[in-house]
Structures are given as C-alpha cells and as structure tokens.
Structure 1
Amino acid sequence: MKITQVEAFRVDVPPADPPFLWRDGLSGSPATGDGAVLRIGTDTGAEGVAFLSRPGAWAMLSYLAENVFRPELIGADPLQREWLWHRVWELDRIHELPLFVLGLVDTALWDLAGRLQGEPVWRLLGGYRTAIPAYASTSTFADIPEYLDVADQALALGYRGIKLHAWGDARRDAALAHALREHVGPEVPLMYDGSAGFDLPDAIRLGHALGDAGYLWYEEPMREFSVSAYAALARAVRIPLLVGETSDGAHMDSADFIRAGAATFGVRTSTNLRGGITGAMRTAHLADSFLLRAEVHGSDLPTHHLCMAIPNTTYYESLVTSNPVRREAAVDADGMLHAPTAPGIALPAGLDYPAGLDRFAA
C-alpha cells in the first residue's frame, strides 16, 4: 500500500454563537470561521483525514499540503507512522511548522489505520477505559456572580468539576478562586488555567491563593518558554502544576519540565500541540514513567480517543463558553464522555463539507 493522494480542502466553520472572551490581553472567539481538512489517500482505496480549525487554517494547510507534505508523502507506506512522524519532524527544522499543523499528517495516518482495521483509534492504541468524567472548562465571564452562576449550571448539568479561565489579574483571580471554592464546597474538583497571563511574582501570589482554596491543579500561569521560572514556581507554592501545553518540542520539551521538577501534577498532551496521536502518546508514556498525570488538552474528536487510551489522565476537558450554559453534546447527563465506536477518528459533525468529505463526519 502506497500513498497516492495528499489533498487539502477548505471548510467554513461557523463562528461561536454567542461569541466569548478569554482573559484581558487576549482576543476572544474568532469573528469568522476558518477550517480545513487534510486527506491522505492510497492506491488500495484506504484513506484518512485530519481536521484543522483556526484563523488562517485553509491558507496554511493548502500551501503545506501542496509544497511540503505531498512531495514527502507520495509513494510512502501509510502504515509506517513512526517513520513518517520523524520525517515531518525533520521537515519542521526548515519550515518551522505551526504547532497545530505539526501533528496533522500523523493524525490522518492514524485515522487511515483505524478505518483500515474497522476500529476506533483508541482501541488501536490499546484501550484503557470506555468512559471518563468531564469538567467544565470556562471561557472568561464578567464578574464573580456570573462565574458562580455558570458553575451552578454546569454542575447541575452533570459536569464533575470546574476549571476557571479568568481575567489575568492576580488579585482579582485569587478572589474568584476563593469565592468559587466557598460556593461549591470542598468536594467539587476545581482547577485554574492562567492562559499565560502572569510573571513569576504574580504567579506565586496567585498560586498561594489556589493552594489555600484546595484547587486540584494550576495550569499555564506563565508563558512556557522558561522552564527555570516554572521550577521556581513549583518550589514556592503548594498547589501542583500542570505544564507543557503550548511550548514547542513535543515530548522532549515535556521531559525538560519534568526533569526540572516543574511538573508537580503532570503535563499536558494533545494531538494539535504535541505532534499528533504519536506525539501525544509519547508524552503520556513519558509522564507515566515518572508517576505523573498526562491531562489531555481540548475537546476535539482526537481528544476523545486519547482520553480513552491514556491510563494516567483524569478528566475530559469540555469547553463552557456561554451563559446560559450548554452542555457539550458528547457529554451525557452524568457528566461522562463515552468512547467513540466508529472506525478511525472522524471529522466534526454539522459542517458543510466539500463533496465526498461528508462520509468522514461523525
């Protein structure tokens, strides 16, 4: 079996309705949707796809498919995923591929393998569970009363925990963290994500507040380019740190955080920021070897498969970006995400795909 087709297709993705915000200093949800699909086909008819949704997705992927991926992949064996992962890694040295593009080829090849075997990808990865609890991962809301209202709604809808994305102000965020803990009581798991809004002194200040309030983990308070700053933060606060979400370098970067003592809860893993399914699993196994967690980032379809395959992950991250709260369709009334059953990985449902791609939709 040889790869004979490498194609990119444009997909219009509706903007978020209603639009939502992240912390002060960051842009909110995109005003217009932009998506793309990478499709890899073979001489036997076996094929796989991977989906990319973010501003500029089509322009980036169409160029890369034509000028970088196609020359490399045509004629290759699609089942040699390790070899092809290394080839894309080599290409990244010159082309400086965006993080969210680095793993697209690998994800499409895993989708192809699942379709070829008639199995969902999480089962090809070995399979660990068939369901996992979901937490509500908030966007940024207006004030403390609205956050408390959103938390009440999320818990009533079945979510098993709440993760805050707040304003990026250490004092204000600390007040919110304490207010939410007092409001929901001691048993509800709470997490905090700083979206890289702080320097080290403010990250320490907020970390003390989160530790006092009994939060489960403290995620990305600073940009993840200074491992030494994260190591200093880990030494200064009691709350465990979850690190390595957005920094370059796949599992190798995560290893440096762990070696420095900065990953006191664990590391983030994902297909879109850690080099596809292969890179995500390498990161998870790395963390497991140190008895750390590998929490899966995001709520796209590849994430569903990773959550079912990785033993040392705790929750599924389900975005809550509106008030009134709408529970994600993939999460049931008991707050559980269940394992996919269709072969491969699939494309998101409900989008207007070019002719022939709709057969891949979930």
Structure 2
Amino acid sequence: MKIIDVRAYGIQTPVTTSFNWRKGLPGSGAVREQGILRIITDEGIEGIAVTQRAGMTVDYVQRRLKGMLIGKDPLLKEKLWHEIWEMDRLEEFQIMYMGLVDMALWDITAKKAGMPLYQLIGGNSDRVQAYASTVTYDTTEQFLQVADACIERGYRAIKLHAWGDARKDAKLCQDLRNHVGEEIILMYDGSAGFNLQEAIYLGKALEEADYHWYEEPMREFSIWNYKKLCDELTIPILAAETSDGCHYNAADFIVQGACDMIRTGTLLKGGITGSLRIAHLADSFGMKAEIHGGDQANVQLACGIPNNSFFEVLVWGKGDSIGFGYPDVDRDGYISAPQGPGIGYTFDWEEIEREANVQC
C-alpha cells in the first residue's frame, strides 16, 4: 500500500453560543476552527484525522507533511511517527500536530484490518463512562444548576473549570459537594492558574470535599513544583496534559513522583502511537492514564486501554440552551465506541471542499 495524495481542509464556523474560561484565559471566541487531514492510498482506503486549527493545518500539510508522505507505506506508522518527531526538532510543531498524521495512519490500518480502532489497539471495552466538564460560569448558583442538568442527563461524574481564584474556587468546590451529595464523582481542573502555595491551599479544600482528582493546577514546565504538590497532598494529582515531549516527558513526571495520574490523548500526546506509549508506561507503574476529551479518536483510545476510567465531555450554556461537546451519551452516562472499521469519521468531501476556508 502506498500514499498517493494528501489533502487538508481548514474550516471556520461562526459560534452561536460563546463561553468563558478562568480569569486570564481567552474564552471560546467568535469562530470555531476545524482542521481535517485526509490521506489517500492506492488501495482506495483513506485515513482521516481532525484537529482544532484551520489555517495551521493547511500550512503544515502543504509546506512540510505532504511531501514527506507521498509514496510512503501508511502501515509503517512507527517509522513515520519518528520521522515527524525528527522534523519537530527544527519545525517546532504546535503540539496538536505531533500526532495528526499518526491518527490518519491508524485510521487506514484499522480500515485495512476491517476493525474498529479500539479493538485493533488492544480492546478493553466497547464503551467508556463520561464525565461532564463544565466551562466557567459567573456564579455558584449557575454551576449548581448546570450540575443538576448534567445529573438529570445521566452523568455520574462532573469536573469544574472555575474562576482561577484559589479561595473562591475552594468554596465553590465544597458548595458543589454539599449540593450533589456523596454519590456523584467530582473533579477539579485548575487550567494552570495557580502558583505552588495557592495550589496547595486549594488542594487541601478538595481533599476535605472528597474530590476524585486535582488536575493541572500549575503550568507544567516545572516538574519540581508538581513533586512538591504531590508531597503535600493526598488527593490524586492529574498532570502532564499540555506539556511537550509526549511519553518522554510523561516518564519524567512519573519517575519524579510529580503526578499520581497521567494525562494522555490523541490531540496533545502524539496521536494514537504517542498516547498508547503513555498509557502502557503508566500501566507499568500501576497508574491511571486518563484520556482527554475530544471526538471519536479519543473514544476509541479510551475503549482500547485498560487503565483509563473516564471520557471528558465539555458542557456549556445554561437552562434550555445547555450544550454537550459529545452528544452520544446514554442515560447511564456512557459513550459507546463507533463499531465500523477505523476511527469512525465520516465526511461529505464535496461539501467540505465547498465550505473550506483554506485547503490544499
């Protein structure tokens, strides 16, 4: 099998419902971006991968990736993964692009095998429990109302993205625990908003409220700070979400005792290949490798490994306008993996080519 063509599409769509993150971070913006990679082979099998940038996707594919891929065997995923890793030494790819090609190659491989991806990479389950991951709201009352709506929808686990104020966030987290009771699993994501002292203060409040994990409270370039945080707290620290370096960096977090759970996921951790390396590395230490949110690719990954617990689903809006980033959650709060061959992406290419703002 050979790659005979590589195409990329960048789509920008106006956002009808915007939302906010913590103080200091930009919100959702006025435009939703989507980049689509399409790898075409001489056997008629196509591999598809999706990311969150439009123009950048087309630029990377046109300028660097298309030339290196044409004529290659798409089943040699390890070889191509390392070629892109080497190219990153000079290109300094934005983190989402370290695994974009790899995802499309795994899509081809699973289609060639006639299997859904989760079965091909190991197969642990055909479904995964979802948790509702909130955006940032203005008041405690709004957070509580959204939590009620999520529980009504079937979610049994909720994660907060709050204001980025350690004392206010601590009180919110305890208020939410009092509101939902002991049966609902709660997590907190600091979105790297705190220094070490603030992170310790907030972490102790989360311990009192019996939160399931404490995620990324500080920027992840300081492993020493994360080790200090782990030494101070008993709540599990989930880290290495946005740090560069894929499994090489994840290994440093683990062996330095700078996390209790490790983040993995196709979008930020080198595609399927990089994500599996992190998951298997964590498993060798008896550690959870929790999958970041996303689309079908991360659902397949979550169902393919044994040491992941949840799948993250973004929740925004209020009242009748509440929206969920992955709509196919059943009444028990689970997401099922697509069962057709490959990852499960389907596109109308004629429509995509008409609507793409940029393409190559």
Runs of 5+ unmatched residues, structure 1: 358-362
Cα distance 1:13–1:282, how it changes in 2: closer, same or farther (>3 A)?
farther
Equivalent of 2:327, from 326, 329, 352?
Answer: 329
- Per the alignment, residue 128 of structure 1 pairs with 124
Distance 2:204 2:355 in 1: 54
- Per the alignment, residue 165 of structure 1 pairs with 161
SS in 2 for 1:12: strand
SS in 2 for 1:292: coil
1:354 correspondence with 2:349: no
1:188 correspondence with 2:184: yes
Instruction: Check the 8 A contact 2:11/2:355 in 1, yes or no.
Output: no
Runs of 5+ unmatched residues, structure 2: none
Cα distance 1:253–1:132, how it changes in 2: closer, same or farther (>3 A)?
same
Report the RMSD for the aligned CA atoms in angstroms: 1.8
- Per the alignment, residue 309 of structure 1 pairs with 304
Distance 1:203 1:52 in 2: 31
Structure 1: which 4+ aligned runs deviate by more than 4 Å? 348-352
SS in 2 for 1:354: helix
1:101 correspondence with 2:103: no
- Per the alignment, residue 212 of structure 1 pairs with 208
- Per the alignment, residue 143 of structure 1 pairs with 139
- 1:334 aligned partner, one-letter code: D
- Per the alignment, residue 109 of structure 2 pairs with 113
Equivalent of 1:226, from 197, 222, 227?
Answer: 222
Cα distance 1:350–1:191, how it changes in 2: closer, same or farther (>3 A)?
farther
Pairing 1:1-362 to 2, within 5 Å after superposition: 1-15=1-15, 17-53=16-52, 57-264=53-260, 266-324=261-319, 325-327=322-324, 328-347=326-345, 353-354=352-353
Once structures 1 and 2 are overlaid, which stretch shifts more, 39-48 or 174-183?
39-48
Residue 346 of structure 1: how far off its partner (Å) = 3.4
Distance 1:63 1:25 in 2: 29
Q: How many aligned residue pairs are there? A: 352
Q: Deviations over 1:174-195 (max 9, x none)?
A: 0001101111112211000000
TM-score by length of 2: 0.94
TM-score by length of 1: 0.93
Residue 14 of structure 1: how far off its partner (Å) = 4.4
Once structures 1 and 2 are overlaid, which stretch shifts more, 243-252 or 44-53?
44-53
Instruction: Check the 8 A contact 2:10/2:57 in 1, yes or no.
Output: no
Q: Deviations over 1:122-152 (max 9, x none)?
A: 1111210011211110000111111111111
SS in 1 for 2:59: helix
Residue 105 of structure 1: how far off its partner (Å) = 0.3
- 2:303 aligned partner, one-letter code: M
Distance 1:198 1:34 in 2: 28
Instruction: Check the 8 A contact 2:279/2:307 in 1, yes or no.
Output: yes
SS in 2 for 1:34: strand
Distance 1:50 1:301 in 2: 10
Percent of matched pairs sharing the same residue = 47
Q: Deviations over 1:72-92 (max 9, x none)?
A: 112211000011111110000
